[in-house]
Structure 1
Amino acid sequence: MPSEKAFLDIISGRRPDWPAAAARGALALLEPVYAAGAALKNLSFDVGIKRPQDVGVPVVSVGNLTTGGTGKTPVVAAVVQKLLQRGMKPAIASRGYRSVDAAGNDEKRVLDLLCPGVPHIQNRDRIAAARELVAHGAEIIVLDDGFQHRRLKRDLDIVLIDATNPWGYGRQLPRGLLRESRHALKRARLILVTRTDLVSSSERERLLDEIARDSSAPVVTSRFVPHGLRDRSGLIHSSDDLKGRQVVAFCGIGNPTGFRATLERAGLLLHSHAVTAFADHHHYTRDDLEALIAEAQASDAAAAVCTLKDLVKLPPIDAPIPILALEITLEIIDGSTAWERAIAGYGIPRAP
């Protein structure tokens, strides 16, 4: 099986050789089959053949059109923190894709750190998860990666679009990364464009124009900013501690390019000017860590740095250098009023 990077090199067109071209052709033949299936599922809900299930409390969904890499986890944390500030009792429901063990997958482990004490159930049946959370006192459900999960009725659909690759190479799965057509944006109640600081002003304006063709929802632009460096004991250090120093960087996330840009913004110098990228949701082994530590020692790096999603699932190891995670927070650039109103408008208990 080809690696995730090899697959992306093929569908993005970065590989111009004839085997890659042949693979793109084969994937293009499968694309209409996938697109038809997605369209039929949506049609069944649009015309009322299937009906979303109401779990009795408001539901806020955070999702996207493409597979992975838009920054859902820090956005879910931001939504939950807003609801907590308003005195609500939120809870999180998610699928639990590629869970490490009973403690849940990397996203749940990160959200447990960022939203301590907030209940979070992972279940392929998100309706069952939401009902269990409500039974235990949740006043509002935040549905992680829920835009395509239309079985669960929601009050607010927040759709994330990554400015650096907004349309997943312009094709639906498996030829591209779109889970469904861009026209699905008509279901969104709020659109959050992430990483807008990583594209030019002309690219940003063009993207906003493209969004407007498919949606009349308010559009909020944002970026992820470095917040600090978390060590394996949970202690948070200032990113200034490593500013101007060389580090070995690695990650197993959907958008390693975005991670690299955030590291550079924090002033860290990347060994070989690169990030060692593993597959999204990669389960690390001791061999992986030993190789990274050896690389760091050989290059006289001050630390090995990864994302929080990586740090929470690293196996125990005695490392001669620090292994740190760069924490990020969501920062709204334009549209803060729409963002605040969206959370305030739907983050209230329903009348009995």
Structure 2
Amino acid sequence: MATEKARQLLARLAATPDAAVPNLPFLHRALLLPLLSAASALLRLPVILSSSPLRSRRTLPVPVISVGNLTWGGNGKTPMVDFLARRFHSMGISPLILTRGYAGGDESKMLRRRLADTSTKIGVGANRAAVGSSMLQKYGHVDPCDAFRREKLGCNRVASGKSAKIGVAILDDGMQHRSLLRDVEIVMVNGLTPWGNTHFIPRGPMREPLSALTRADIVVIHHADLACEAQLETIARTVQDSGTTCSVFFSKLAPSHIFEVHQPLQKISLNVLGGMIVLCVSAIGCPDAFIHTVREVLFSLTSFV
């Protein structure tokens, strides 16, 4: 209980802009904020060092796509990684997902279950360049253009199997993993709470400054259906003002089915929830969007019935 209250307090402070600081309780202003600000300064130093042009970076013999963000969780990174892996698989290109494996590797386990019916391989480890090299040695690699052409001609017989040679690597949460060169940088932005108070963790939600957007090739504003038009325009303008010339896209959560935990490939229609009492548990970074989506689904089912 104490841990949850502390987490909620940090989340509130991270969403508090500087102009609203005088309205906070005295202890928060006098004790917590200075401590959090000092911790943020310390955590910012490794980011500055990792951005040094003198730091060597490794390459992989296949195209590398990074999916990341500038803030802490709830930006839609994992769904985007899942989406990209399925798209490449459908094109006859076997993808390799490289993930850090935070919190005991729960996200990597989920991706394994979700993508078990595809040719996707998943490599887990802090040194994703080393893990990627090891996986490529194990399975081999192929020019993705050649794999795509073979699939179009009906010649790619192993594209759907786990033995398929890897044609592309996807970095899950890869924006701050600077030791591996990437060909495309996709940055996910939470349309509901894009930058918080713009301070670094733990004083705020930022992992890098907004100037890091200049490295982006693509920016995707997630939960776009839940944000008002003015909010979306403000986010897009902030992206443009950062100096980047990247393309900006919008995405939203669109649940299609449910499944049993141990049988993720067996899709169950959402209609089975009609008339039922449903207990929902969320452990994602932006639970508000999840709650809204669940309510919309249950409301549509109730109206249908």
Deviation at 1:251, TM superposition (A): 1.4
Cα distance in 1, alignment partners of residues 42 and 114 from structure 2: 39
Count of residue pairs the alignment pairs up: 260
Aligned residue among 177, 191, 198 for 2:219: 191
**Separation of aligned partners in 1, 2:111 and 2:82:** 6
Q: What corresponds to 2:146 in structure 1? A: none
Q: Does 1:119 align with 2:121?
A: yes
Structure 1 length normalisation: TM-score? 0.69
Does structure 2 retain, via aligned residues, the 8 Å contact 1:246–1:268? no
Task: Give the equivalent residue in structure 2 for 1:37.
Answer: 46
1:223-270 deviation per Cα after TM superposition (whole angstroms, max 9, x unaligned): 11111111234242222222464422211121111110110121259x
**Would you tell me which structure has more strand in proportion to its own residues?**
1
Two-structure CA RMSD over aligned residues (Å): 2.0
Per the alignment, in what secondary structure is the counterpart of residue 161 of structure 1? Answer: strand
Q: Which residue of 2 aligns with 1:82?
A: 87
**Alpha-carbon shift at residue 157 of structure 1 (Å):** 0.7
- 1:147 corresponding residue in structure 2: 175
- Summarize the Cα distance change of 1:244–1:10 in structure 2 as closer, same or farther, 3 Å threshold: farther
Aligned partners of 1:232, 1:31: CA distance in 2, in Å? 38
Q: Percent identity?
A: 27
Matched, 1:16 2:24: yes
Rounded to whole Å, the distance in 2 between the matches of 1:87 and 1:94 is 22
Q: Which residue of 1 aligns with 2:260?
A: 231
> Runs ≥4 in structure 1, deviation > 4 angstroms?
none
The aligned amino acid for 2:62 is V
Work out the CA distance in 2 between the residues paired with 1:256 and 1:139: 35
1:345 — aligned with what?
none
- Structure 1 residues 160-191: Cα deviation after superposition (integer angstroms, max 9, x where no partner): 00111111332111211111101000001111
User: What are the ranges of 5 or more consecutive residues in structure 2 without an aligned counterpart?
Assistant: 141-165, 301-305
Read off the aligned partner of 1:30 and give its amino acid letter.
Answer: A
Pairs within 5 Å for 1:92-103? 92-99=97-104
- What is the rounded CA distance, in whole Å, between the counterparts of 2:262 and 2:201 in structure 1? 40
The one-letter code matched in structure 1 to 2:84 is: V
Distance 1:41 1:108 in 2: 25
Q: Of 241, 251, 270, which aligns to 2:282? A: 251
- Structure with the larger RCO, 1 or 2 (CA within 8 Å, 6+ apart): 2
What TM-score, normalized by structure 2, do the two folds share? 0.80
Out of 106-115 and 16-25, give the one that drifted further: 16-25
Unaligned runs of 5+ in 1: 100-104, 270-352
